[in-house]
Structure 1
Amino acid sequence: MDTTGTLDEALVRLHDSGPERLGRLTNHAPMAVEALAAHGQARSVHRWLDLYAHKLEEFPSRVEPVTDADWSAALGDPRRAADWIGYFEREVAERPWPEVLTLWWPRLLPGLYGGSTHPVIRVGHAVRTLLSGEVTEPRLAELAHGLGYWAARHRPVAVVASLPGADGAAAALDTVAPIAVQDGGFSARLDQVRALPVWAASVTEPSDAYRHLTELVRAATHRYATHGHGEATMLVHAATAPNAVLRTLPALPQTLWAPSLRAAWTASAAVTAMYAPAAPADYTPPGALTPEEVFERALAHGDEHVIKLTDTALDVGDGPAMAAALRSMELSAPLA
């Protein structure tokens, strides 16, 4: 983890910006700079931010403070993003951050799908930093921003019927049927998800939940290499959302691991259904590259989703995952 102070500098710089722009597009910069710092590229953080700066908007206006007495009325109200972030800034200033996370994780988990799953991904990046490095004020503030964004964009999925699945995560993803009309934004497509295959539904032991979630992240990452052309940007989240949950598990009581697995599976399967291509495509990566070389290519490419998928691919760490990262660079436009 970055010990130069660059990540903290970048987070302070970014906390003057809102979690979204144009009322619907997520600010990916905090997640991307955390990934850069985590993989030894702290020297490139500010240069990358300079290129991304045109996608940032000012921090939104506050409406009224969120309190312990009335928080449920503000849940899922994107107009209250600044109020929610302020609430969590106060919470992490007054209590240990794992205690705040443990209280709010089960409250927020049913709404993991809001903001196209970006809020939980932002939280996952923040938690990784807090678990693996020094706990600083900017890093605590970043957790507050992530949790606040999640609370403001809290969006449960409709009741989903259960379909026959498969034993393995890869096979279960293969059984996911595309939605009938693949058109419109994330929320419109999510409304069409009415049934998903059952996978790992009987898991209760924390160790089994961790193992299954690791398997899901691997399967979804591998799958991007052959299915990412369905929608190069959105299908990234079939892997990065469950990986955010996986990164957060060590900070949570083990009693929350099994429900976290179920929410992560639903998210990954739903994204797969919403953006699945008509057919897979064979993909041969351009030669054998080390993980470090693959990440350097992602940085040179610059696209925020490419950086985040490559970050997850490095967590998986095998050849098919590196191929998925390289495929995302071919499918996505470079940052400009």
Structure 2
Amino acid sequence: MRTTDTTGILDEALQRLHRSGPERLGRLSNHAPMAVEALAAHGRAGSVHRWVDLYTSRLEEFPSAVEPVTAANWRAALGEPRRAADWIGHFGRETAERPWRDVLARWWPRLLPGLYGGATHPVIRVGHAVRTLLAGGGTGPRLTELAHGLGYWAARYRPVAGIAALPGAGGAAAALDAVPAVAVQDGGFPDRLARVTGLPVWAAEVATPEEAHRRLTELVRAATHRYATHGHGEPTMLVHAATAPNAVLRTLPALPRALWVPSLAAAWTASAAVTAMYAPRDPVARNPPGTTMTAEEVFERATAHGDEHVIKLADTALDVGDARALAAALRAVELSEPLA
């Protein structure tokens, strides 16, 4: 069940959260705007402020500005985390001066090659912001949230290069199965990403927007299903193998169709790279059963658990909508520590 929050609670929560920065401890993402959007989207607006109260200890103050980002200097500021406030201010001005879809269409191809920065959290945050804007919620706080997401993405912009094309597979599930795990699975996201040297070719022949949309939908479904059997490899980080491509999928309707094919390519690389970086040695079961619980019951369990990644995977599982996806969300509940 997806709803549009008409109570004003989501806007109130976003206003609270925009006083905080996009990260804490210099590397950990602020997940609160994404989680509260998911709660509101699935009829749990009444839980939003209580959830934010519990998460508040994980927030840091909004960072200090360094120098305004302009048309003349933006390339030099790309990928500079200390410029996060500058970038957020830039996109705040951009979204105040022109329609948000125009801003997104202009910057999406500029930012897409650097989707891998911030452990893919920036593009996920943008995907949540776009969903609520597409639902008709073009309020000030929601436009500001898009500015925060795009600004965070620009500040954490990180491209990947030198990844060899390995033999691929026909379907998304088989292609993810063919992803080789990195030899050394330790360290943080940037260290592990640097060890990804080859990924299977998948969907390289896609040439039309319609096929790109279909393939991206297939990828989100396959990555979500895979969490049920492989999520124990790293319960938090493997969530992103599904939620990052789903953020791209959610954004496609707001983008020019000419951008859909390159968006698929970037989303595949992100999902496959996360799979390589955190894959367990063995799955727990090759063909796990689904669940008889309803989508509403599964999301209610995720809400009660409270962990931000659990909420976001449940949100994606409800988009996929089948029993195996819902079972994956319940697996995340089982594997993850609840929000205290």
TM-score by length of 2: 0.98
Q: Which amino acid is 2:97 matched to?
A: E
For residues 256 and 159 of structure 1, the distance between their equivalents in structure 2, rounded to whole angstroms, comes to 23
Note the alpha carbon deviations across 1:17-56, whole angstroms, 9 max, x for none: 0000000000000000000000000010000000001000
Deviation for aligned residue 1:284: 5.4
Question: Which of residues 106, 112, 115 is equivalent to 1:112?
Answer: 115
Note the alpha carbon deviations across 1:253-301, whole angstroms, 9 max, x for none: 0000000000000000000000000010028579510000000000000
* Paired position in structure 2 for 1:276: 279
Q: Which amino acid is 1:304 matched to?
A: E
CA 179–66 in structure 1, closer or farther in 2 if over 3 Å, else same? same
* Paired position in structure 1 for 2:331: 327
CA 61–323 in structure 1, closer or farther in 2 if over 3 Å, else same? same
Q: Which amino acid is 1:222 matched to?
A: H
Deviation for aligned residue 1:204: 1.1
1:167 and 2:170 are equivalent in the alignment: yes
Secondary structure, in 3 states, of the residue corresponding to 2:228? Answer: helix
For residues 140 and 115 of structure 2, the distance between their equivalents in structure 1, rounded to whole angstroms, comes to 26
* Paired position in structure 2 for 1:76: 79
* Paired position in structure 2 for 1:198: 201
* Paired position in structure 2 for 1:294: 298
Question: Which of residues 111, 133, 136 is equivalent to 1:133?
Answer: 136
Question: Which of residues 2, 7, 13 is equivalent to 2:10?
Answer: 7
CA RMSD in angstroms, aligned pairs only: 0.9
Structure 2 unmatched runs, 5+? none
1:228 and 2:228 are equivalent in the alignment: no
Deviation for aligned residue 1:134: 2.4
1:267 and 2:270 are equivalent in the alignment: yes
Q: Which amino acid is 2:254 matched to?
A: A
Question: Which of residues 114, 139, 158 is equivalent to 2:161?
Answer: 158
**Partners of 1:121 and 1:244 within 8 A in 2:** yes
Q: Which amino acid is 2:310 matched to?
A: V
For residues 134 and 280 of structure 1, the distance between their equivalents in structure 2, rounded to whole angstroms, comes to 41
Greater displacement, 131-140 / 82-91? 131-140
**Corresponding residue pairs, total:** 336
**Partners of 2:229 and 2:288 within 8 A in 1:** no
* Paired position in structure 2 for 1:51: 54
* Paired position in structure 1 for 2:22: 19
1:90 and 2:93 are equivalent in the alignment: yes
Note the alpha carbon deviations across 1:166-185, whole angstroms, 9 max, x for none: 00000000000000100100
Deviation for aligned residue 1:133: 2.4
* Paired position in structure 2 for 1:67: 70
Note the alpha carbon deviations across 1:295-323, whole angstroms, 9 max, x for none: 00000000000000000000000000000
Note the alpha carbon deviations across 1:48-70, whole angstroms, 9 max, x for none: 00000100000000001000111
**Partners of 1:196 and 1:269 within 8 A in 2:** yes
For residues 287 and 274 of structure 1, the distance between their equivalents in structure 2, rounded to whole angstroms, comes to 28
Identical columns (%): 78
TM-score by length of 1: 0.99
Question: Which of residues 166, 183, 186 is equivalent to 2:186?
Answer: 183
For residues 284 and 138 of structure 1, the distance between their equivalents in structure 2, rounded to whole angstroms, comes to 41
* Paired position in structure 2 for 1:257: 260
Secondary structure, in 3 states, of the residue corresponding to 1:162? Answer: strand
Question: Which of residues 227, 239, 248 is equivalent to 2:242?
Answer: 239
Secondary structure, in 3 states, of the residue corresponding to 2:165? Answer: strand
**Partners of 2:290 and 2:323 within 8 A in 1:** no
* Paired position in structure 2 for 1:143: 146
CA 6–200 in structure 1, closer or farther in 2 if over 3 Å, else same? same
1:217 and 2:220 are equivalent in the alignment: yes
Question: Which of residues 306, 310, 317 is equivalent to 1:313?
Answer: 317
CA 2–188 in structure 1, closer or farther in 2 if over 3 Å, else same? same
**Partners of 1:241 and 1:268 within 8 A in 2:** yes
Deviation for aligned residue 1:200: 0.1
For residues 179 and 187 of structure 1, the distance between their equivalents in structure 2, rounded to whole angstroms, comes to 13
1:34 and 2:37 are equivalent in the alignment: yes
Q: Which amino acid is 1:214 matched to?
A: T
Note the alpha carbon deviations across 1:193-231, whole angstroms, 9 max, x for none: 010000000101000000000000000000000000000
CA 290–3 in structure 1, closer or farther in 2 if over 3 Å, else same? same
Secondary structure, in 3 states, of the residue corresponding to 2:199? Answer: strand
Q: Which amino acid is 1:164 matched to?
A: P
For residues 263 and 134 of structure 1, the distance between their equivalents in structure 2, rounded to whole angstroms, comes to 27
CA 285–13 in structure 1, closer or farther in 2 if over 3 Å, else same? farther
Deviation for aligned residue 1:158: 2.0
